[in-house]
Structure 1
Amino acid sequence: MTEVRPSQRMRDLGVVQHGADILAEPAGAFELPAEKTAAERVIEQLTVAMGRIAQAHDFSGKGMGLAAPQIGIARAAATVRPAEAGTEPIVLLNPRITASSEEMDEQYEGCLSFFDVRGMVPRPLRIAVEATALDGTTQVTVCERGLARLVHHEIDHLDGLLYTARMRPGVEPIPVGEYRQTGRAWAYER
Protein backbone atom coordinates (compact mmCIF):
# COMPACT_ATOMS: atom_id res chain seq x y z
CA MET A 1 0.00 0.00 0.00
CA THR A 2 1.32 3.45 -0.91
CA GLU A 3 1.75 5.90 1.97
CA VAL A 4 -0.12 9.19 1.52
CA ARG A 5 2.20 12.18 1.37
CA PRO A 6 1.74 14.77 4.14
CA SER A 7 0.84 17.43 1.55
CA GLN A 8 -1.89 15.17 0.15
CA ARG A 9 -3.30 14.66 3.66
CA MET A 10 -3.48 18.45 4.07
CA ARG A 11 -5.07 18.85 0.61
CA ASP A 12 -7.66 16.23 1.60
CA LEU A 13 -8.39 18.32 4.72
CA GLY A 14 -9.09 21.39 2.58
CA VAL A 15 -5.73 23.17 2.76
CA VAL A 16 -4.70 24.95 -0.44
CA GLN A 17 -1.29 23.71 -1.58
CA HIS A 18 1.89 25.42 -2.75
CA GLY A 19 1.65 26.67 -6.31
CA ALA A 20 -1.91 27.98 -6.00
CA ASP A 21 -2.17 31.64 -7.02
CA ILE A 22 -4.07 32.61 -3.86
CA LEU A 23 -0.98 31.83 -1.73
CA ALA A 24 1.15 34.31 -3.71
CA GLU A 25 -1.21 37.29 -3.53
CA PRO A 26 -1.87 39.77 -0.70
CA ALA A 27 -5.19 39.10 1.02
CA GLY A 28 -7.93 41.73 0.98
CA ALA A 29 -8.48 43.71 4.17
CA PHE A 30 -11.83 43.79 5.96
CA GLU A 31 -13.69 47.09 6.38
CA LEU A 32 -14.67 46.82 10.02
CA PRO A 33 -17.15 47.11 11.57
CA ALA A 34 -19.08 47.24 8.24
CA GLU A 35 -17.92 43.72 7.25
CA LYS A 36 -18.27 42.23 10.73
CA THR A 37 -20.57 39.42 9.53
CA ALA A 38 -18.20 38.47 6.70
CA ALA A 39 -15.23 38.48 9.12
CA GLU A 40 -17.11 36.31 11.63
CA ARG A 41 -17.92 33.84 8.85
CA VAL A 42 -14.25 33.59 7.83
CA ILE A 43 -13.16 33.17 11.47
CA GLU A 44 -15.67 30.33 11.83
CA GLN A 45 -14.37 28.65 8.67
CA LEU A 46 -10.79 28.93 9.97
CA THR A 47 -11.82 27.49 13.35
CA VAL A 48 -13.58 24.50 11.75
CA ALA A 49 -10.63 23.84 9.42
CA MET A 50 -8.15 24.04 12.31
CA GLY A 51 -10.21 21.49 14.22
CA ARG A 52 -10.11 19.07 11.27
CA ILE A 53 -6.37 19.56 10.82
CA ALA A 54 -5.60 19.17 14.54
CA GLN A 55 -7.36 15.79 14.54
CA ALA A 56 -5.04 14.61 11.76
CA HIS A 57 -1.71 15.92 13.10
CA ASP A 58 -0.23 16.66 16.54
CA PHE A 59 0.65 20.34 16.88
CA SER A 60 0.97 20.31 20.68
CA GLY A 61 4.70 21.07 20.72
CA LYS A 62 4.72 24.21 18.61
CA GLY A 63 1.11 25.25 18.16
CA MET A 64 -0.43 25.91 14.78
CA GLY A 65 -1.78 28.67 12.63
CA LEU A 66 -3.97 28.96 9.58
CA ALA A 67 -4.50 31.91 7.27
CA ALA A 68 -7.66 32.40 5.23
CA PRO A 69 -5.85 32.08 1.85
CA GLN A 70 -4.82 28.56 2.93
CA ILE A 71 -8.48 27.54 2.85
CA GLY A 72 -9.19 29.40 -0.39
CA ILE A 73 -10.40 32.71 1.06
CA ALA A 74 -8.47 35.78 -0.12
CA ARG A 75 -9.18 37.86 2.99
CA ALA A 76 -6.85 39.17 5.71
CA ALA A 77 -7.77 36.80 8.52
CA ALA A 78 -5.74 34.20 10.38
CA THR A 79 -6.04 32.16 13.52
CA VAL A 80 -3.15 31.01 15.69
CA ARG A 81 -3.47 28.30 18.32
CA PRO A 82 -0.56 28.69 20.78
CA ALA A 83 1.25 25.56 21.96
CA GLU A 84 0.30 26.11 25.62
CA ALA A 85 -2.64 23.89 26.56
CA GLY A 86 -5.81 25.76 27.46
CA THR A 87 -4.72 28.95 25.68
CA GLU A 88 -7.43 30.53 23.56
CA PRO A 89 -6.71 30.85 19.83
CA ILE A 90 -5.62 34.28 18.64
CA VAL A 91 -7.72 35.78 15.85
CA LEU A 92 -5.93 38.20 13.55
CA LEU A 93 -7.93 40.49 11.26
CA ASN A 94 -6.01 42.87 8.98
CA PRO A 95 -2.82 42.25 10.99
CA ARG A 96 0.46 43.96 10.37
CA ILE A 97 3.75 43.90 12.20
CA THR A 98 4.52 47.36 13.56
CA ALA A 99 7.77 46.57 15.39
CA SER A 100 10.21 43.69 15.67
CA SER A 101 13.26 43.02 17.78
CA GLU A 102 16.69 43.07 16.25
CA GLU A 103 17.36 39.87 18.19
CA MET A 104 16.58 36.95 15.90
CA ASP A 105 16.74 33.19 15.99
CA GLU A 106 16.61 30.59 13.24
CA GLN A 107 14.52 27.45 13.62
CA TYR A 108 12.67 24.94 11.47
CA GLU A 109 9.15 25.76 10.38
CA GLY A 110 6.57 23.73 8.58
CA CYS A 111 3.64 24.95 6.53
CA LEU A 112 0.29 23.27 6.02
CA SER A 113 0.44 24.40 2.38
CA PHE A 114 3.58 22.36 1.67
CA PHE A 115 3.77 19.89 4.49
CA ASP A 116 6.29 17.56 2.82
CA VAL A 117 9.25 19.72 3.88
CA ARG A 118 10.55 21.82 6.77
CA GLY A 119 12.69 24.92 6.39
CA MET A 120 15.15 26.77 8.62
CA VAL A 121 13.73 30.29 8.95
CA PRO A 122 15.20 33.33 10.74
CA ARG A 123 12.58 35.37 12.62
CA PRO A 124 12.62 38.14 15.24
CA LEU A 125 12.23 36.93 18.82
CA ARG A 126 9.68 39.65 19.56
CA ILE A 127 7.11 41.41 17.38
CA ALA A 128 4.33 43.94 17.92
CA VAL A 129 1.23 43.25 15.85
CA GLU A 130 -1.55 45.68 15.11
CA ALA A 131 -4.88 44.07 14.19
CA THR A 132 -8.47 45.22 13.81
CA ALA A 133 -11.19 44.01 16.17
CA LEU A 134 -14.67 43.19 14.87
CA ASP A 135 -15.92 46.53 16.19
CA GLY A 136 -13.32 48.36 14.08
CA THR A 137 -10.98 49.30 16.91
CA THR A 138 -7.26 48.66 16.64
CA GLN A 139 -5.50 46.30 19.02
CA VAL A 140 -1.76 45.90 19.49
CA THR A 141 -0.36 42.63 20.80
CA VAL A 142 3.26 41.84 21.61
CA CYS A 143 4.32 38.27 20.83
CA GLU A 144 7.57 36.58 21.80
CA ARG A 145 9.56 33.52 20.81
CA GLY A 146 7.44 30.65 19.45
CA LEU A 147 4.24 32.69 19.40
CA ALA A 148 6.03 35.49 17.51
CA ARG A 149 7.21 32.88 14.99
CA LEU A 150 3.68 31.48 14.50
CA VAL A 151 2.05 34.89 14.17
CA HIS A 152 4.75 36.20 11.81
CA HIS A 153 4.35 33.08 9.63
CA GLU A 154 0.58 33.65 9.32
CA ILE A 155 0.95 37.37 8.59
CA ASP A 156 3.39 36.41 5.84
CA HIS A 157 0.63 34.25 4.31
CA LEU A 158 -1.69 37.26 4.30
CA ASP A 159 1.03 39.21 2.48
CA GLY A 160 1.39 36.46 -0.14
CA LEU A 161 4.68 35.09 1.22
CA LEU A 162 5.68 31.54 2.10
CA TYR A 163 8.41 30.90 4.66
CA THR A 164 10.85 29.98 1.90
CA ALA A 165 10.98 33.71 1.06
CA ARG A 166 12.45 34.28 4.54
CA MET A 167 15.12 31.55 4.37
CA ARG A 168 18.75 32.59 4.00
CA PRO A 169 20.19 32.31 0.47
CA GLY A 170 21.56 28.84 -0.18
CA VAL A 171 19.46 27.20 2.57
CA GLU A 172 16.94 24.72 1.23
CA PRO A 173 14.00 22.98 2.93
CA ILE A 174 14.55 19.39 4.03
CA PRO A 175 12.15 16.49 3.46
CA VAL A 176 9.82 15.96 6.41
CA GLY A 177 11.24 12.43 6.74
CA GLU A 178 14.60 13.96 7.74
CA TYR A 179 13.04 16.38 10.24
CA ARG A 180 13.33 15.04 13.77
CA GLN A 181 11.49 17.64 15.84
CA THR A 182 7.81 16.85 15.21
CA GLY A 183 5.84 17.26 18.43
CA ARG A 184 8.66 19.13 20.19
CA ALA A 185 8.57 22.79 21.16
CA TRP A 186 11.01 25.22 19.60
CA ALA A 187 14.09 25.59 21.78
CA TYR A 188 15.03 28.99 23.19
CA GLU A 189 17.85 30.05 25.46
CA ARG A 190 16.66 31.38 28.78
Structure 2
Amino acid sequence: MPRCTPSPRLGIAAPQIGITRAAAVVQPAESGAGPIVVLNPRVTDVSEESDEQYEGYLSFFNVRGKVSRPLRMTVETTSLNGATVTNVYQRGLDRLVKYEIDHLDGLLYTDRMQSGVLPIRVEEYRQTGRAWAYDS
Protein backbone atom coordinates (compact mmCIF):
# COMPACT_ATOMS: atom_id res chain seq x y z
CA MET A 1 0.00 0.00 0.00
CA PRO A 2 1.65 3.31 -1.06
CA ARG A 3 2.03 5.85 1.70
CA CYS A 4 1.99 9.58 1.34
CA THR A 5 3.28 11.22 4.48
CA PRO A 6 2.23 14.83 4.94
CA SER A 7 5.11 17.24 5.44
CA PRO A 8 5.27 21.02 5.70
CA ARG A 9 7.67 21.08 2.74
CA LEU A 10 5.61 19.24 0.14
CA GLY A 11 4.29 22.22 -1.77
CA ILE A 12 4.03 25.95 -2.11
CA ALA A 13 1.81 28.27 -4.11
CA ALA A 14 3.10 31.55 -5.53
CA PRO A 15 0.72 33.76 -3.47
CA GLN A 16 2.16 32.26 -0.26
CA ILE A 17 5.46 33.96 -1.05
CA GLY A 18 4.02 37.22 -2.37
CA ILE A 19 3.95 36.36 -6.08
CA THR A 20 0.59 37.11 -7.68
CA ARG A 21 0.64 34.33 -10.25
CA ALA A 22 -1.38 31.13 -10.65
CA ALA A 23 1.62 28.89 -10.06
CA ALA A 24 2.44 26.20 -7.53
CA VAL A 25 5.03 23.49 -7.00
CA VAL A 26 4.47 20.15 -5.29
CA GLN A 27 7.36 17.89 -4.30
CA PRO A 28 6.13 14.31 -3.89
CA ALA A 29 7.52 12.50 -0.86
CA GLU A 30 8.51 9.47 -2.96
CA SER A 31 12.25 9.31 -3.46
CA GLY A 32 13.35 10.08 -6.99
CA ALA A 33 10.12 11.85 -7.91
CA GLY A 34 10.70 15.27 -9.40
CA PRO A 35 8.65 18.34 -8.56
CA ILE A 36 5.23 18.91 -10.12
CA VAL A 37 4.79 22.44 -11.44
CA VAL A 38 1.25 23.66 -12.02
CA LEU A 39 0.76 26.88 -13.97
CA ASN A 40 -2.73 28.29 -14.50
CA PRO A 41 -4.30 25.04 -13.25
CA ARG A 42 -7.90 24.15 -13.97
CA VAL A 43 -9.49 21.07 -12.43
CA THR A 44 -11.55 19.45 -15.19
CA ASP A 45 -12.71 16.25 -13.50
CA VAL A 46 -12.84 14.68 -10.04
CA SER A 47 -13.80 11.20 -8.94
CA GLU A 48 -16.95 10.62 -6.94
CA GLU A 49 -14.90 8.43 -4.59
CA SER A 50 -13.24 10.44 -1.82
CA ASP A 51 -11.53 10.01 1.51
CA GLU A 52 -10.87 12.09 4.58
CA GLN A 53 -7.31 12.71 5.80
CA TYR A 54 -5.61 15.13 8.17
CA GLU A 55 -3.98 18.17 6.58
CA GLY A 56 -1.94 21.01 8.01
CA TYR A 57 -0.67 24.43 7.07
CA LEU A 58 2.64 26.01 7.95
CA SER A 59 0.98 29.15 9.32
CA PHE A 60 -1.17 26.97 11.63
CA PHE A 61 1.73 24.70 12.57
CA ASN A 62 0.20 23.53 15.86
CA VAL A 63 -3.09 22.10 14.48
CA ARG A 64 -4.32 19.63 11.86
CA GLY A 65 -7.77 19.22 10.34
CA LYS A 66 -9.58 16.41 8.56
CA VAL A 67 -10.48 17.25 4.98
CA SER A 68 -12.47 15.21 2.49
CA ARG A 69 -11.04 15.22 -1.03
CA PRO A 70 -11.63 13.15 -4.18
CA LEU A 71 -9.29 10.21 -4.73
CA ARG A 72 -8.59 11.22 -8.34
CA MET A 73 -8.69 14.43 -10.33
CA THR A 74 -7.77 15.64 -13.78
CA VAL A 75 -6.00 18.99 -14.08
CA GLU A 76 -5.21 21.11 -17.14
CA THR A 77 -2.12 23.28 -16.75
CA THR A 78 0.10 25.38 -18.95
CA SER A 79 3.59 24.06 -19.63
CA LEU A 80 6.66 26.29 -19.55
CA ASN A 81 6.52 26.51 -23.37
CA GLY A 82 2.85 27.60 -23.31
CA ALA A 83 1.20 24.31 -24.32
CA THR A 84 -1.82 22.98 -22.48
CA VAL A 85 -1.03 19.80 -20.55
CA THR A 86 -3.53 17.44 -18.92
CA ASN A 87 -2.52 15.26 -15.98
CA VAL A 88 -4.41 12.84 -13.76
CA TYR A 89 -3.42 12.77 -10.09
CA GLN A 90 -4.64 10.20 -7.61
CA ARG A 91 -4.36 8.62 -4.16
CA GLY A 92 -2.53 11.30 -2.20
CA LEU A 93 -0.83 13.18 -5.00
CA ASP A 94 -4.21 14.59 -6.02
CA ARG A 95 -4.68 15.79 -2.43
CA LEU A 96 -1.34 17.62 -2.47
CA VAL A 97 -1.94 19.22 -5.87
CA LYS A 98 -5.51 20.27 -4.98
CA TYR A 99 -4.28 21.69 -1.68
CA GLU A 100 -1.94 24.02 -3.58
CA ILE A 101 -4.60 24.87 -6.17
CA ASP A 102 -6.85 25.83 -3.26
CA HIS A 103 -4.18 28.33 -2.16
CA LEU A 104 -4.32 29.87 -5.64
CA ASP A 105 -8.07 30.27 -5.13
CA GLY A 106 -7.58 31.86 -1.70
CA LEU A 107 -8.70 28.78 0.24
CA LEU A 108 -7.08 27.02 3.20
CA TYR A 109 -7.67 23.46 4.35
CA THR A 110 -9.83 24.88 7.16
CA ASP A 111 -12.25 26.15 4.49
CA ARG A 112 -12.67 22.53 3.32
CA MET A 113 -13.37 21.04 6.76
CA GLN A 114 -16.90 20.01 7.68
CA SER A 115 -18.91 22.81 9.27
CA GLY A 116 -18.67 22.74 13.06
CA VAL A 117 -15.58 20.49 13.11
CA LEU A 118 -12.52 22.10 14.62
CA PRO A 119 -8.86 21.30 13.93
CA ILE A 120 -7.03 19.18 16.50
CA ARG A 121 -3.74 19.97 18.20
CA VAL A 122 -0.61 18.46 16.63
CA GLU A 123 0.00 16.42 19.78
CA GLU A 124 -3.39 14.74 19.35
CA TYR A 125 -2.80 14.27 15.61
CA ARG A 126 0.52 12.54 16.29
CA GLN A 127 -1.32 10.12 18.55
CA THR A 128 -3.33 8.90 15.55
CA GLY A 129 -0.11 7.34 14.26
CA ARG A 130 -1.43 7.44 10.70
CA ALA A 131 0.21 8.68 7.55
CA TRP A 132 -1.98 8.90 4.45
CA ALA A 133 -2.39 5.37 3.10
CA TYR A 134 -4.02 4.26 -0.14
CA ASP A 135 -4.61 0.90 -1.80
CA SER A 136 -2.59 0.37 -4.97
TM-score with structure 2 length normalisation? 0.88
Residue segments in structure 1 that go unaligned for 5+ positions in a row = 1-59
Paired residue for 2:105?
159
Post-superposition Cα deviations, 1:4-59, rounded to whole Å, max 9, x if no partner, equal xxxxxxxxxxxxxxxxxxxxxxxxxxxxxxxxxxxxxxxxxxxxxxxxxxxxxxxx
1:144: how far off?
A: 0.3
Paired residue for 2:30?
84
From 51, 57, 61, the equivalent of 2:5 is: 61
Equivalent pairs: percent with the same residue?
A: 67
From 46, 50, 56, the equivalent of 1:104 is: 50
CA contact (8 A) 1:66 1:79 kept: yes
1:182: how far off?
A: 9.4
1:74: how far off?
A: 1.8
Matches within 5 A, 1:42-53: none
Q: Quote the Cα distance in structure 2 between the aligned partners of 1:181 and 1:107.
A: 14
1:183: how far off?
A: 9.2
From 40, 49, 73, the equivalent of 1:127 is: 73
Look up the equivalent residue of 1:163 and give its one-letter code: Y
Paired residue for 1:185?
131
Residue segments in structure 2 that go unaligned for 5+ positions in a row = none
Q: Quote the Cα distance in structure 2 between the aligned partners of 1:86 and 1:131.
A: 23
Structure label with greater radius of gyration: 1
1:114: how far off?
A: 2.0
Q: Is the partner of 2:132 in helix, strand or coil?
A: coil
Judged with a 3 Å threshold, the aligned counterparts in structure 2 of structure 1 residues 108 and 94 are, in CA distance, closer, same or farther, namely same
Paired residue for 1:170?
116
Q: Quote the Cα distance in structure 1 between the aligned partners of 2:15 and 2:114.
A: 25
- Aligned pairs, how many? 131
CA contact (8 A) 1:70 1:113 kept: no
User: Which has the larger helix fraction?
Assistant: 1
Question: Once superposed, what is the RMSD of the aligned Cα atoms?
Answer: 2.0
Post-superposition Cα deviations, 1:83-130, rounded to whole Å, max 9, x if no partner, equal 111100001111121100000000000112322211100000000011
Look up the equivalent residue of 1:74 and give its one-letter code: T
> Looking at both structures, which has the greater relative contact order when contacts are Cα pairs under 8 Å and sequence separation is at least 6?
2
Q: Is the partner of 1:179 in helix, strand or coil?
A: helix
